[in-house]
Amino acid sequence: MFRALLAMILFILLIMVIGNVVLEEFPQLQPLFDELKMHVVNLYNISIVKYGAVTTLLIIVAIVLLIGTSRRM
């Protein structure tokens, strides 16, 4: 369990570093990134209103677990 949690934290850190490098190298992608961020925040807010905070967090954890445990053949 601890290993999976550590791997998830390191994966998030890796995504942040890669995203930062990509946005520095290609500044024309900034508006696209801002729009994607706006859509994610909008979906989160809709989910909070419809299902509540606890259920929304459980849905996010479930999605992360499904992605993290899927194996490619």
Range of the structural domain that residue 13 is part of: 2-69
Domain count along the chain = 1
Examine the pLDDT at 73 and tell me if it is beyond 60.
no
> In the prediction, which pLDDT does 3 show?
82
Of all helices (H) and strands (E), which one includes residue 60? helix 53-69
Q: pTM for the complete prediction? A: 0.64
Examine the pLDDT at 5 and tell me if it is beyond 90.
no
Task: Count the alpha carbons within 13 Å of 47 in the hemisphere toward its beta carbon.
Answer: 14
pLDDT category of residue 65 using cuts at 50, 70 and 90: confident
